[in-house]
Structure 1
Amino acid sequence: MRFSVFLLALLWAPLIVDAQETRTPSHCIALADNIDGATFVHKASYDVQVAPETVRIHYIAHASFLIRTTGGLNMVTDFTGFVGNVPMIPDVVTMNHAHETHWTAFPDPAIPNVLPGWGEFGEGISHRLDLGEVLVRNVSTDIRSQWSGVEEDGNSVFVFEVAGLCIGHLGHLHHEPNAEQYAAIGRLDVVMAAVDGGMTVDLPTMMRIVSRLKSSIVIPMHWFGEYTLDAFLTGMREEFQVVEVGGPSLDVSLDRLPARPTIMVLRPEWLREETE
């Protein structure tokens, strides 16, 4: 009897290890099933516990977001070196260099994974960072350059595959992706999109991009005032539901994506520690 139990334990052990090291498959290419509901979170704290199979998205400022996983991984997009008055070293930071408000030349050397969205001039860069719970990858796009007109592959769309979700950050996008780039990005469940209407792409182009990506949740970013934000929202209302979250954060899970494509308007706020 003891031998049988021991043998059974040996057979199950690899399965237990695999379950701990394997993330839930994402739906970057296949369409995800949509179910009504989303949890809105209004706290600015960076260290709150995230429910299983859930991702917390916090709009920090401009184009910077904190993406926090159930396992406590902290990832910051378009990292500028400052996220708020918190003693946090992110596990991953992504950056784009169209403007200094999207990157820093001096990231803290304690950050284990610093992913620039550009390489040598015109050559682009390729990232595929697998941390078990999350896969971070990028798709290169071009940006305008003050030196040659266009810097090929100077921007990156970063995609985070986690908890069965595909979360995309379009960065400082300067043109509509081509067919190959759309295919590489895949179907995004959540997308952060710049809606300034000028410094990135114009609003009609961004509206077309957002519609083609068929995301369940769109989070506007990189807006410089209510006028540009409202112009984007007005142009998208026929196709998308618009929800004012009323705070900087929301929790997202695959089984609670909205049935109708929804624009979730977050209000940026620096990260802070919760105080009693």
Structure 2
Amino acid sequence: MGKNTVFKTREGKNDVIKHYDLFLEKRALSYEKFYVDTVYGKTFIIASGEKGNPPLILLHGSGMNSVMWLRDIQEYSRNYRVYAVDILGEPGKSDENRPSLNGPYYAEWLKAVFDDLSLKKANIVGISLGAWLAIKFSVNYPEKVSKLVLLCPSGVGKQKKSFIFKAMFYALLGEKGIDKLYYKVNGNQPIPEAMLKYQKLIGKNFNYRRETIPIFSDNELKLLTMPITLFVGAKDIMLYSDKTVRRLGGLLPHVETNIISEAGHSNINDVNKIIACFTIEKCKRSELA
């Protein structure tokens, strides 16, 4: 499949994409699906909502694709023109090209997506790696971002080194161990069976990134002058939520911070709370415990 392959086999890729399409078919959602061309590769997008509504970009996390947003899109599209973008080099329908996270490449790629969609400015919601990309883009093209919502963002605080050892330990326990790992990543909350099976299918067939996600400098983060809302999970086993809140809140006093007590890393996207951030002037600022 070439040097840019991120799937282990062509058959595995086809299986992941087949189930992607099944998720779309089963969801009672009015949507369009299309590709846009960029210098870094073709990019797959799911669009929903009236074209005259304010634009909202959704950026998923690593090891996933826009399937994770399908439930949320139904709510967002009531008031926004939603674009769920499959990130390059992840297990979705965009090209498998995986530029380095160091350098301007991913920001330039997303700028090309904005240009193809004729978006002068948009709101962005990103989770984990998608939140890192949202910050990266906003640092490089702040004039393009109306408001930024960051869900458990990478690149603000360091990743917990203990997570790698926990992942290795649970992998040794077989399928039950993998189930337990996903359960813990989800803040010890149940995962819908169909989504759990899909995550395991991706894990079986996808080559995860080995590149360390870069940490943004203070000077970079200080360029984020647009309205920002941060959500982190108190039970996040991958990132230090308290340090993320303290650092971003300390550098940017205008950031509204929210610590969700029962959330982990992957179940932070509470659609109603996020929608409230767009529809009221200020979100309630949570205090660190």
* Shared fold per TM-score greater than 0.5: no
More helix by share: 2
Report which of the two has the higher share of strand: 1
- Larger RCO of the pair (alpha carbons < 8 Å, separation 6+): 1
TM-score norm. by structure 1 comes to 0.37
Q: Max radius of gyration: which structure? A: 1
